[in-house]
Chains A and B, each alone.
Chain A
């Protein structure tokens, strides 16, 4: 579904991503872990071109998104959830969810609203449709942000540290939603620091360090039998 070839990204003279090659297949739940500054967020943000790669190609369903001139069309199929939620502060929850589907003529107003309500029900927030983001807790905001992405019927969901900005007691409710989404068969790429979650949800875990994927494996093997020294050190610190 997503094929990354020789991806490089520099910020100034600093190399953030160095020749990353990856193939993400449909239905996979790829979890990316690694120390801060290892390039995992940048890698994720390259996948929907929020960061423009310095070189290399990224194929989404066969189309090189670094060369396409209609990135908006492609982004409609790639949901993204941010660390800081980024709900539209000037819009209520219903409008947050329906803005894109209505503006992009994917649904009629009524359809979009109906769809939004159904999705809100799924995350148990149907009574918040008229609330504004500032009135919600972090966990609620993140669940809404996930719903907002889902309202576009994406083919893949990208999660950029979805629980890092949350109070510890709210992490669970957000992870539950993501887990449920994973069980429904959604293709996902998740950058996270939650190792337990990575083990439980991932079908494949990548370890990034120094702008490259150092090691990858199934979750069970990844955590039980880390090969490279760097990963062993990392796991000994976080587990």
Chain B
């Protein structure tokens, strides 16, 4: 039994340096996740701010060119949220790869854009719920001191909002990391596909897929641990 496993292990990973499918796949997974996450956070924050500013301003303040631009931006954001959240990620990835960015040579770039744009929609709503969870007295206090809206948002509301939505953001990050496993559909050799390639060559499914699963699990546990540490530090101001 043990010898059998050992033989399979050597066949799956050692022979012909097949472990490199795993490591290079892991590298791709990490790159795609990281840049998609950054793109998602940027898009999400931008959209959340547009939506919040739009909703917080009263009708009579939405006049002039600025008000018009904001109204249009808000409508575009809503369409984006509806479409992205209403269609499967895989379909979006395939559409971007085979239709919208068909001339793009880098599959990694396609994946980053697809997952970033997808994640952005979810992150936007997470940020928005975070901003809305902050008592409006915080904004009023800032404004009553003469601080502009943007300053109060940046210095007072956002830090509290981000702290409040950190668990949901980590959730989204974990989902994103695992969701990149569908990149195989556009032929990008990420972690899952790396394991799958080994399975295809050696006809052993157990070890390669178990290893892949274990690596995902380890990464998720690491992210969770890191964030709980960060969360504890951010809670400093709540200590009584």
Contact = CB atoms under 8 A, between A and B. Distances in A.
B87 interface: no
Given A86-B135, A88-B138, A78 B144 contact: yes
Contact of B143 (A50, A73, A89): A50
Contacts of B137: 82, 84, 86
B160 A152 contact: no
Interface string A73-108: 111111110101011111110000001100110000
Contact of A89 (B145, B155, B237, B240): B237
Contact of B145 (A76, A91, A134): A76
Q: Pick from A52, A103, A152 the residue with the most CB of B within 10 Å.
A: A103
Nearest to B61: A52
B239 interface: yes
Q: Pick from B135, B137, B144, B156 the residue with the most CB of A within 10 Å.
A: B144
B78 interface: no
B58 to A, nearest CB: 7
A104 B145 CA distance: 10
B211 interface: no
B144 A88 contact: no
Contacts of B240: 134-135
Interface in B116-163: 135, 137-138, 140-148, 151, 155-156, 159-160, 163
Contacts of B142: 88, 100
B137 to A, nearest CB: 4
B4 interface: no
A150 to B, nearest CB: 11
B239 A135 contact: yes
Contact of B144 (A75, A87, A103): A75
A15 interface: no
Given A86-B138, A90-B160, A103-B151, A80 B239 contact: no
B147 A89 contact: no
A74 B58 CA distance: 21
Contacts of A82: 137, 140-141, 144
A36 interface: no
Contact of B60 (A50, A52, A79): A52
B155 A99 contact: yes
B144 to A, nearest CB: 4
Contacts of A134: 237-240
B15 interface: no
A225 interface: no
Contacts of B17: none
A171 B144 CA distance: 23
A135 B235 CA distance: 13
23 contacts: A48-B144, A52-B58, A72-B147, A73-B146, A74-B146, A82-B140, A82-B144, A84-B135, A86-B135, A86-B138, A89-B138, A90-B156, A90-B159, A91-B155, A91-B156, A92-B237, A99-B156, A100-B147, A132-B239, A134-B238, A134-B239, A134-B240, A135-B239
Interface of A: 48, 50, 52, 72-80, 82, 84, 86-92, 99-100, 103-104, 132-135, 145, 148-149, 152
Identify the 9 closest CB pairs spanning chains A and B, nearest first: A76-B146, A86-B141, A86-B137, A80-B144, A100-B145, A75-B146, A132-B237, A90-B159, A72-B146
Interface of B: 58, 60-61, 135, 137-138, 140-148, 151, 155-156, 159-160, 163, 236-240
Given A72-B147, A89-B237, A152-B145, 5 more contacts: A50-B144, A52-B61, A87-B141, A132-B236, A149-B144
